[in-house]
A and B are shown apart, each in its own frame.
Chain A
Amino acid sequence: MAPPASSRRPRRPAPELLFGDLWPYDPAPETADPRIRPEYDLFIGGRFVPAADGTRFTSINPATERPLTELARGGPADVDAACRAAAAAFPRWSRLPGAERGKYLFRLARLLQDRAREFAVAETMDNGKPIRETRDFDVPSAAAHFFYHAGWADKLAYLAPGRTVAPLGVVGQVIPWNFPLLMLAWKIAPALAAGNCVVLKPASNTPLTAVKLAELLQEAELPPGVVNIVTGPGATGAHLLAHPLVRKVAFTGSTEVGKVILRSVAGAGKRLTMELGGKAANIVFADAPLDQAVEGIVNGIFFNQGQVCCAGSRLLVQESVAERVVAQLRRRLRVLRVGDPLDKNTDLGAIVSREQRDVIRGYLRAGVAEGAELWQAPFRAPARGFYVPPAVFTGVTQSHRIAREEIFGPVLSVLTFRTVEEAVEKANNTPYGLSAGVWTDKGSLILRLATELRAGVVWANTFNKFDPASPFGGYKESGFGREGGRHGLLDYCAVT
């Protein structure tokens, strides 16, 4: 901001703002009962059954490192039983009038809303993400996906005008740990609306809300076998996706695992949707509304502790405002609250697991070793739990590992650019292409970048915005197929 012409005040070095504890917030823990049972079984054919070999595994709360519950460890035999149950349910389910299928989805959406607080607390305890996000984002968005697809169930005739759509059969779905309930809704809701039956394997770190949702499926009196949930390790997911009864594979997770899955199902004639990794560029031009851009940068990379496939993990900032944006960003990060995920005032919770925390720490070391400058917000770590305070790397170049590889943690790499061409070139210089952000006051520049950026989603003057009606998916190694909207639904249909 240039001072007005008439101001002739002598310049003094301005002291920094002081974000201390003159007025500290008291702890404000969310106290709703998550209603977690000590043991959960597999949900196959509408009933809860133990694993065929009787084994179990433990899910822990990453904020306390204490066990939450024991879950059945599903294996190949269980996957087979689940796929058979789904195949048995398919003829009747797929021939139900669309309006009838829609009723079940509406019922599920409402049940989820009724028990939103309970699911939010359970999700927070299982995943470590703050209650503010599960309460205001995960659970309402999951319900919104069921509502949206419930509306489609009796309107499939209008999905592809002039052509006929039909369900595919049994769908095998494997979901990640970063948005356990929401990813489940993204997968199950369109599959059911289109008339498919589902076998879903939640991530082994975060299976709790999936098995809790199985209880809702029972309560909604969904016909047995239409949705089956098999908890277990990654190998169980591989069995599921390779199972001969599975006609469609929907996977969300890392690019590395996605490639393994693609190899394993090659030539089997399965339909595939892959939503994989990302290394999104968030591009800030000098004419952008800077305070809102800083807010968007924070929302882009520190939402869900940065464990988001479309996270804006690379900040590309025009050099004339780079210094100011980074200073503003650090100031903003000083008031970001890291800590107990169940506290309603927490902005950043725990990392999902010890392994993931160690991966992130590894990248922090790699960034420093490669010569980038690391800044981390001041943070007093609790005695237990997997925490990483927000980290910002400056002086990053395109060849740094922290600028190329998906970290999946609260780590931002700051790069600068001078011209629009350079920004586009740097943004596209990645194997990934899931999302991107553009910050400028100039509408024509937004339109130009929306076409030049090779990314499935380009957000303009905002970041990390989702809607059930808006298709989501990637370019290049970020995967293929779309989720949400007409496009997402079409991926669960045979169009003739």
Chain B
Amino acid sequence: MRASSAPPALRRWFAAVGPVDRVGVEERVAKFTTRSIKKAAKVQGLKLAVSMVDLTTLEGKDTPGKVASLCRKALRPHDDAAVPAAAAVCIYPSLVRAARRALGPRSPVRLASVATAFPSGQTALATRLAEVRRAVADGADEIDMVINRGAFLAGELTRVRDEIAAVVATCGPAALKVILEVGELETYDHIRAASCLALGELRPGDFIKTSTGKTATNATLANTQVMLEAIRDHYLETGVAIGMKPAGGIRTAKQALHFLVAVKETLGDAWLTPARYRFGASALLNDLVRQLEKERTGAYPAPYAFSEAAESY
């Protein structure tokens, strides 16, 4: 849908937040990929990335055993104690109790649960809120919600906003990550507009997140850049610092470093922390560890040298 054919409410909102030029933003992020990150900078970047991973499993066949195993992996990604713990594990609500048991009550690794009828969000608001309430009660530290894309694309912005506000209220102490599902928003104009809409409802410590990982297009440098710039504008205007979580499609250490370059050069040092930046990923963690091992020993270990080395993650 083009901006000019959008419903009036959406059009007004587009005008308020400003447009995004596709060619320009893609050119900008291409420059991030030409940064050469070597030696000490590489090791530091890789460790930072490890500490930002939301280690994720979101499959119908997940079991309490698999989740427990994932929790161990997040706490200790590698035998080498110099490798930090991951930021969080991210799982379905039905497994929150199992994960809480595996992590223990005061774990350095946070427990994130998707909720609100992930990934489509296609149930009544009351049902979605009940799911959030239950996940928090079961011990989730963070909730990953999806926005109502149908309402957004139909121009029902107030509804989208009110639903986010309702989830914020229901989360209580838990941090909230608002998934825009960029693959279904289609244009950068929409991504910026949706980002700005969500940002206005969030509290410091909350996040906006690109995607569920369940659609064809997930996190790219470009759509993440559009969201980073929205976060920057919101911060400069209100002083409220919101975090960012690209999710889906980031599989290699090199990609992760490019994403961190974008953060360093767009939002600056204050966002280079797991408190404000996360990677929603699974296979990424082992590639980061693998590159760290390579930097340490000068050689790449075999894939089976790493625990949880399964492509299904």
Shortest Cβ distance from B187 into chain A, in angstroms? Answer: 12
**Among candidates A12, A26, A136, residue contacting B34 with C-beta atoms closer than 8 Å:** A136
CA–CA, A12 and B241, complex, Å: 12
CB nearest to B165 among chain A residues: A6
**Among candidates B20, B34, B48, B260, residue contacting A292 with C-beta atoms closer than 8 Å:** B20
CA–CA, A136 and B24, complex, Å: 17
Given contacts A3-B237, A6-B165, A12-B239, contact A22 B269 (CB under 8 A): yes
Judged by a CB distance under 8 angstroms, whether A274 is at the interface is: no
Proximity string of chain B (27-60) to chain A, C-beta cutoff 8 Å, 1 when within and 0 when not: 1100000111111111011001000000000000
Contact indicator B48/A23 (Cβ below 8 Å): yes
Shortest Cβ distance from B203 into chain A, in angstroms? Answer: 9
A contact residues, total (Cβ < 8 Å):
42
Residues of B close to A26: CB separation below 8 A:
37-42
How would you classify the secondary structure of chain A's contact residues: helix, strand, loop or mixed? loop
Q: What are 29 A-B pairs at a CB distance below 8 A? A: A1-B234, A3-B238, A5-B158, A6-B200, A7-B201, A9-B240, A14-B235, A14-B236, A15-B239, A17-B232, A17-B235, A17-B268, A18-B269, A19-B264, A20-B268, A22-B272, A23-B48, A23-B272, A25-B35, A26-B37, A28-B36, A287-B19, A288-B19, A289-B25, A291-B24, A295-B28, A344-B34, A345-B35, A461-B23
- A1-60 residues with Cβ-Cβ distance < 8 A to B are 1-7, 9, 11-26, 28
Contact indicator B28/A132 (Cβ below 8 Å): no
Residues of A close to B235: CB separation below 8 A:
14, 17
CA–CA, A2 and B158, complex, Å: 15
- B226-257 residues with Cβ-Cβ distance < 8 A to A are 229-230, 232-240
Judged by a CB distance under 8 angstroms, whether A441 is at the interface is: yes
Contact indicator A1/B233 (Cβ below 8 Å): yes
CA–CA, A296 and B31, complex, Å: 13
Contact indicator A4/B197 (Cβ below 8 Å): yes
Contact indicator B28/A4 (Cβ below 8 Å): no
Residues of A within 8 A of B (CB): 1-7, 9, 11-26, 28, 132, 136, 287-293, 295-296, 335, 344-345, 441, 461-462
Contact indicator A461/B21 (Cβ below 8 Å): yes
Contact indicator A23/B34 (Cβ below 8 Å): no
Residues of B close to A18: CB separation below 8 A:
268-270
Contact indicator A25/B24 (Cβ below 8 Å): no
Residues of B close to A7: CB separation below 8 A:
200-201, 238
Contact indicator A25/B238 (Cβ below 8 Å): no
Contact indicator A23/B20 (Cβ below 8 Å): no
Contact indicator A11/B28 (Cβ below 8 Å): no
**Among candidates B16, B240, B260, residue contacting A23 with C-beta atoms closer than 8 Å:** B260
CB nearest to A321 among chain B residues: B18
Judged by a CB distance under 8 angstroms, whether B153 is at the interface is: no
Residues of B close to A462: CB separation below 8 A:
23-24
Contact indicator B239/A4 (Cβ below 8 Å): no
CA–CA, A1 and B17, complex, Å: 5
CB nearest to B3 among chain A residues: A441
Judged by a CB distance under 8 angstroms, whether B89 is at the interface is: no
Judged by a CB distance under 8 angstroms, whether B265 is at the interface is: yes
CA–CA, A15 and B240, complex, Å: 10
Residues of A close to B35: CB separation below 8 A:
25, 344-345
Contact indicator A344/B36 (Cβ below 8 Å): yes
